[in-house]
Structure 1
Amino acid sequence: MSRLSNMAVRDIETVIHPYTNLARHRETGPLILNEGRGIHLYDDKGKRYIEGLAGLWCTSLGYGNEELVEAAAQAMRKLSYTSIFSGKSHDSAIELSEKLKELAPCPTSKVLFGGSGSEANDMQIKLTWYMSNARGLPKKKKIISRQRAYHGVTIASASLTGLPWVHADFDLPIANILHTSCPHHYRFAEEGETEDQFTDRLAKDLDDLIQKEGPETVAAFIAEPIMGAGGVIIPPSSYFPKINAVLAKYDVRYIADEVICGFGRTGEWFGTTTMGMKPTSISMAKAITSAYFPMGAITIEEELYQAMLDESRKLGTFGHGFTYTAHPVGCAVALKTIEIYERDKTVEHVRQVAPVFEKRIAQFADHPLVGNARAKGLLGALELVADKKTKRAFDPKKAIGALCADILQENGLIVRAMGDAVAFCPPLVITADEINEMFDIVAKGLKILEERVLKENLRN
Structure 2
Amino acid sequence: MNIEVRHELGDEGPKDAARQHLINPSEEMAKLGRSDRPLFTHADGIYVWDDAGRKLIDGPGGMWCTQIGYARREIADAIRDQAMTLSYNSPWYFVNEPAAELARRIAELAPGDLNHVFFTTGGSSAVDSALRFMQFYNNVLGRANKKAIICRIDGYHGSTQLTAACSGRAWNRPNFDLASDQIAFISAPNTFRRPRGMSEAAFLNFLVEEFRSKVAELGPENVGAFLAEPLLASGGVIVPPKGYHQRILEICRQHDILYISDEVVTAFGRCGHWFASEDVFDIVPDIITFAKGVTSGYLPLGGLVISDAVLGRISGENAKGSFFTNGYTYSGHPVSCAAALANIDVISRDRILEHVRETAPYFQERIGSLRDLPLIGDTRGTGLLGCVECVTDPSSEQATKLDAEMALRVDRECYEAGLIVRPISNMCVLSPPLIITREEIDTIVGILGRSIEKVTNELRAEGRI
Q: What TM-score, normalized by structure 1, do the two folds share?
A: 0.94
- 2:126 is aligned with 1:120: yes
Instruction: Quote the residue 1:95 is aligned against.
Output: 101
1:64 aligns with 2:78: no
| Amino acid of the structure 1 residue aligned with 2:406 | I
Q: Deviations over 1:41-99 (max 9, x none)?
A: 0011211000000000001111111100001000001101112212x111111110110
1:225-304, aligned counterparts within 5 Å? 225-272=230-277, 273-304=279-310
Shift of 1:387: 2.7
Partner of 1:223 in structure 2?
228
Residue identity opposite 1:301 in structure 2: S
Alpha-carbon separation, structure 2, partners of 1:141 and 1:58: 31
Question: Does residue 332 of structure 1 match 2:338?
Answer: yes
Q: CA separation of 1:330/1:7 partners in 2, compared to 1, >3 Å: closer, same or farther? A: closer
Question: Which consecutive residues of structure 2, in runs of 5 or more, have no partner in the other structure?
Answer: 1-11
1:54-453, aligned counterparts within 5 Å? 54-86=61-93, 88-187=94-193, 189-272=194-277, 273-306=279-312, 307=314, 314-315=321-322, 317-388=323-394, 393-395=399-401, 399-453=405-459
Asked whether the 8 Å contact 2:300–2:336 carries over to 1, the reply is: yes
> Is the CA contact (8 Å cut-off) linking 1:12 and 1:26 kept in structure 2?
yes
2:217 aligned partner, one-letter code: K
Quote the Cα distance in structure 2 between the aligned partners of 1:396 and 1:173: 32
Q: CA deviation at 1:243?
A: 1.6
Residue identity in the other structure for 1:56: M
Task: Give 1:165's aligned amino acid.
Answer: W
Gaps of 5+ in 1: none
**1:47 and 2:54 equivalent?**
yes
Is contact 2:150-2:226 (8 Å) kept? yes
**Is the 8 Å Cα contact of residues 200 and 242 (structure 1) preserved in structure 2?**
no
**Closer, same or farther in 2 for the Cα pair 1:106/1:176, shift >3 Å?**
farther
- Write the letter of the residue equivalent to 1:214: G
CA contact (8 A) 1:311 1:318 kept: no
Cα offset, 1:190, TM superposition: 1.6
CA distance in 2, matches of 1:223, 1:443: 32
One-letter amino acid of the structure 1 residue matched with residue 61 of structure 2:
A
Tell me whether 98-107 or 16-25 shows the greater mean CA deviation: 16-25
Q: Determine the C-alpha separation between the residues in 2 that align with 1:84 and 1:7.
A: 35
TM-fit CA distance, 1:246: 2.2
Count the aligned residue pairs: 452
Q: Distance in 2 between matches of 1:231 and 1:177?
A: 22
Deviations 1:171-193 (A, max 9, x none): 11432111111000111x12211
Query: Normalized against structure 2, the TM-score is what?
Result: 0.93
Listed one character per residue, the Cα deviations across residues 237-271 of structure 1 (whole Å, up to 9, x for unaligned) are 13222222222221100010011000111122222
Offset, 1:19: 2.2
SS of corresponding position for 1:399: helix
- State the Cα distance separating 1:396 from its structure 2 match: 5.5
Any idea what the Cα deviations from partners look like across 1:15-47, whole Å, max 9, x if unmatched? 111124343465451100000000000011211
**8 A Cα contact 2:102 2:337, kept in partner:** yes
Q: Aligned-pair distance for 1:453? A: 1.3
The letter for the 1-side match of 2:233 is: G
**Separation of aligned partners in 2, 1:44 and 1:419:** 27
Distance 2:148 2:395 in 1: 40
